[in-house]
Amino acid sequence: MRKTTMSWIKALPLLLLTAGPLVSSAPAKTSESKPVDRLVAAAQSALQQAKQNSSVAQDHDLNLGRHKGDSFTSPVDGYFIQERASRGLPEPGQHKNYGALVPWDQIVSKVNAETKLLFLIRHGQAWSNYLEEVLGPDLWYGVVSKCGFTTGNGTDYQIFDAELTDVGQAQAENLHTLLASNSSFKTVTGGLPTRAVVSPLSRCLDTASIVLADMQLTNVNTEELIRETLGSDTCDARRSVSDPPGGGKPETGPCAFDRGLKSKYPTYDFPVLGKDKTELGLLTDDDHLWKKNKREKQKDQIKRAETFLETLFNNAEEQVIFVVTHSGFIRSLLLAVDREPYRPKNAEVVPALIRRRQRQSS
C-alpha cells in the first residue's frame, strides 16, 4: 500500500490558529451584553415551539446493522483506565499516558491478524457542544432540531453539521502536540503501519486535520458508519458530497449550505459506495440517514458499530487505527466489544484492543 503523510493538511487555515488554554466554553462570535441571558431567552422560545412540533421517534428505515456473524471483543482487562466508565475526566484533556496502565510495547504485542489497536478520538468542542453547555439540556432540546440559532441581538450560531469552536480547535492542537512530542505517536503505535478513519461531519474532519497533521499514516478514509447518533438533531446531519444546486438546500437533509464535502475538504476522499457497501466510504451523496423525527436507538447504533468493525477488519490490513468520531458512537462501539460505555471529553483519546471472533462454519 502506498505510504502517505498528513503533511498536506498542514496547509489548512485551521492550523494557522494558535492553541490556547483549554476552557469549558467558547466565546460568542460577537460581543454582546449578558450573552448567556440572551441565549437562554431565545432558547426558551425555541423550546416551546419544539414541544408543539414534537412527535414520537421511530426506528430508521435503513438497516445499518448488516452484521454477518463475526463478533468482536476486547480481549484483555486492566490495560486501560477507560475500561471503567466511572473513570471519566472531570474536564477536557487526556488521561496520563492516554489511559494506558501497562507499557505500550506490552499493549502493541497483543495485535495480530485478528486483533487491532484502535485509538478512538472524540472531536474537539463544536458549537453544538458549546450551546448545550450554556443553555443546559432542557433549553437545548428546543434548539437542537434547528439549522441555526439567533440570539436576541442577532448573534448567529450554526447548528447544522456543527463546526469547531476556537476552543475545539485549541483542544485538537493540544492533542496534536502531545502525539508529536517525544516520539509519542511512534510509541503508542509501536511503529506499525497506521491508518486513520474519520467521520464525514465537519467537526471530525477538522479535528483529524489538526490532530493527525504530519503523522505517518498509510491511508486516510472517511466512513459513514462512524457518525454520531442519527436523526432529529441537525448538528448530526451531514452535508452532501457534491455542492447543493444553487448553493441551497439539497433534495434530502434538513438545512441549506453552500459547499459540499468535496469542495469544503478537497484533501479528503469521499467515495460513494451505495447502501450495500462493504468497503470504507459513504453510502450516498446526500444524507439519506438523517430523519427529522426519527432518532437512532442505542441498540441500533451498537449494530452499526459491529458493521463498521466488520468492514474495518475486512478492508484495513493495518493493525493500528485512529478513529476520529463522536462520543455517542464511541460508547456504542465499546459496548459492542464488551467494554463499559466510557464517555470521552472533547478531543480525548480512548484506546481499545479489539479482537475478531469469526463465526463457526456449519
3-state helix, strand and coil shares in percent for the chain, rounded to the nearest 5: 35, 15, 50
What is the rounded end-to-end Cα distance, in angstroms, of the chain? 35
What is the model's pLDDT at position 155?
Answer: 86
What is the model's pLDDT at position 54?
Answer: 45
* 259/250 Cα distance (integer angstroms): 11
**Of 200, 258, 176, which is closest to residue 9 (Cα–Cα)?**
176
* 184/107 Cα distance (integer angstroms): 14
- Residue range 4-16+57-125+165-357 in CATH 1.10.10: no
- Per domain, the residue ranges of the chain are 4-16+57-125+165-357
Contact status, residue 260 vs residue 244, Cβ threshold 8 Å: yes
Per-residue b or e along 169-188, where b marks 16 or more CB atoms closer than 10 Å to that residue's CB: bbbbbbbbebbeeeeebebb
What is the model's pLDDT at position 195?
Answer: 98
Q: Would you give the DSSP letter of residue 359?
A: P
Q: CA separation (Å) from 175 to 101, 168, 244?
A: 19, 11, 34
- Which residues sit opposite 141 in a β-bridge? none
> Taking the mean position of all CA atoms in its chain, how far away is CA 52?
31
Please report, as a single letter, which amino acid is at residue 187.
T
Please report, in tens digits, the pLDDT of each residue of the chain (362 residues total). 334 444 333 333 333 233 333 334 444 444 444 555 656 555 555 555 554 554 433 333 445 655 555 699 998 789 999 999 999 999 999 999 999 999 999 999 999 999 999 999 999 999 999 999 999 999 999 999 999 988 878 889 999 999 999 999 999 999 999 999 999 999 999 999 999 999 999 999 999 999 999 999 999 999 999 999 999 999 999 999 999 987 677 777 899 999 999 999 999 999 999 989 999 999 999 999 999 888 999 999 999 999 999 999 999 999 999 999 999 999 999 999 999 999 999 999 999 999 998 765 54
Q: Cell 453544538 maps to which residue? A: 128
354 sits in which H/E element: strand 349-357
* 47/51 Cα distance (integer angstroms): 6
What is the model's pLDDT at position 357?
Answer: 87
Please report, as a single letter, which amino acid is at residue 10.
K
Q: Helices marked H in 6-126 — which ranges?
A: 35-53, 104-108
Q: Helices marked H in the chain — which ranges?
A: 35-53, 104-108, 127-135, 137-141, 166-180, 184-189, 202-211, 261-264, 298-315, 327-336
Q: Give the CA angle between residues 145, 141, 23 to the nearest 5°.
A: 100
What is the model's pLDDT at position 30?
Answer: 41
What is the model's pLDDT at position 37?
Answer: 60
* 220/271 Cα distance (integer angstroms): 12
